Amino acid sequence: MMDRASLLYTARRMRHQPFDRDAVVEMLSLEVSCWDLSLKACRAVLAGATRFVEASQPADNRMSLQQWWNDTAGRKPMTSMMARPLITGRLVQPSAMFMSKVLVEPWVRALPSEDPLTVAGQRLQQACEQVAWAAPKGRRRGICTGMRLMLAHDYDRLDQLTDDDLEELPPGANALDILDGALCDLGVFRRSPRRGTVRRKTQPLIHRYVHLWHRARFTADTTHAGRDPTHHPRPQQRRVRRGPRPHHRTNDGDGDGSDP
C-alpha cells in the first residue's frame, strides 16, 4: 500500500491526464481505505462516489480528470458524500465557492495523521486558541475556513495562503477575522491582524482605484480619438426657456392716425 505522500502525488498527476474511470475508482478505494471511519461509513461513501463517477463519464475521451470535474460539478446533482473522496484524495481541485458550502471539519478529522491537511489543521488550531477575544465556536469556524481554502487552492502548507485567498470568500459566518489573526500569529502574514472593514478596505480598494483609473483613461482616449489635441470645444451656453410672446392688437383710433 502506498504511503500518503505517494498517494497524493499520484492523484495530482492523474488530475491532468485523460479521464480513466477504472483508474479513478481504484484511487477512490485507496483514499477511503486510509480514513479513520467505520467500515460501514467508508463503504457508503465509496459506493456513492463510484456511482457518480460511472454515471457522468465524459463523452470526449481526451478530457482530463480536472476538466471532467469542472464540467460536471456545476451541471450534475452531487452530494458532498460523492465529492468527498475526490477532493480529499486530491484527484480534483474544487472552487472556493464549492468548498464554502461543504462541512469540511469531519472530512479533515478522518484523514490520516500524516496528511498535510491534518498537520496544517493542528497548527491552525493552536494558533486560533491564542486569539483571546474569539469564542470557541468562532475558532472552529476559522479552522474550517482555512481548510476550505487549502483544498480550493491545492495547498499543503499554511504559509501558501495569501491575502487574496481570504478576500475571495463570499460574505458570511466564516470567521475570517479569527483566521487572519491566527495566520498573523504564525507569521504567514507579516503584518498586524486586520478585522472587519479594515481588512476589506485595504487591498480591494487599491484594485478598485486602479480599475477606475484605467477605465477613465480608456473613456477619454476613445472619446477624443481622431480630434485635434489643440482643439478645445467651446462650452455650450445654457439655453433659457421662455414663455410664449404676447400678442399685441391695435384698436380703432389707436396708433399713428394712419388709415388701416
Give the CA distances from residue 97 to residues 73, 102, 138, 151, 231, in Å, rounded to whole numbers and listed in that order.
11, 9, 20, 11, 51
In this structure, are 79 and 100 located in the same domain? Answer: no
Residue 45 structural domain: 4-93
In this structure, are 67 and 104 located in the same domain? Answer: no
Q: Determine the 3-state secondary structure of 4 from DSSP.
A: helix
pLDDT digits (tens, 9 = 90+) for 92-105: 999 988 998 899 99
The pLDDT confidence band at residue 250, using thresholds 50, 70 and 90, is very low
Which of 91-95, 111-115, 122-126, 204-208 shows the lowest mean pLDDT across its residues?
A: 204-208
Average pLDDT in the chain? 82
| Residue 214: pLDDT over 90 | no
| Residue 147: pLDDT over 50 | yes
The pLDDT confidence band at residue 177, using thresholds 50, 70 and 90, is very high
Region 184-199: mean pLDDT is: 81
In this structure, are 72 and 153 located in the same domain? Answer: no
In this structure, are 85 and 104 located in the same domain? Answer: no
Domain assignment of residue 19, yes or no: yes
Sequence-distant (≥ 6) Cβ neighbours of residue 184 within 8 angstroms: 191, 192, 193
In this structure, are 55 and 120 located in the same domain? Answer: no
243 vs 8, residue with greater confidence? 8
Region 20-38: mean pLDDT is: 96
In this structure, are 84 and 102 located in the same domain? Answer: no
Region 173-179: mean pLDDT is: 87
| Burial letters 50-75, b for 16+ CB under 10 A, else e | bebbeebebeeeebbbbbbbbebbee
In the structure grid, which three cell numbers stand for residue 16, read together? 491532468
For position 79, what pLDDT does the model report? Answer: 86
Overall number of domains in the chain: 2
Domain assignment of residue 208, yes or no: yes
In this structure, are 158 and 189 located in the same domain? Answer: yes
Which of 53-57, 81-85, 198-202 shows the lowest mean pLDDT across its residues?
A: 198-202
State how far the Cα of 186 lies from the Cα of 168, in Å rounded to an integer: 21
Region 15-43: mean pLDDT is: 96
209 vs 112, residue with greater confidence? 112
Counting residues of the chain whose pLDDT is more than 90, the rounded percentage is: 60
In this structure, are 62 and 155 located in the same domain? Answer: no
| Residue 11: pLDDT over 50 | yes
For position 73, what pLDDT does the model report? Answer: 85
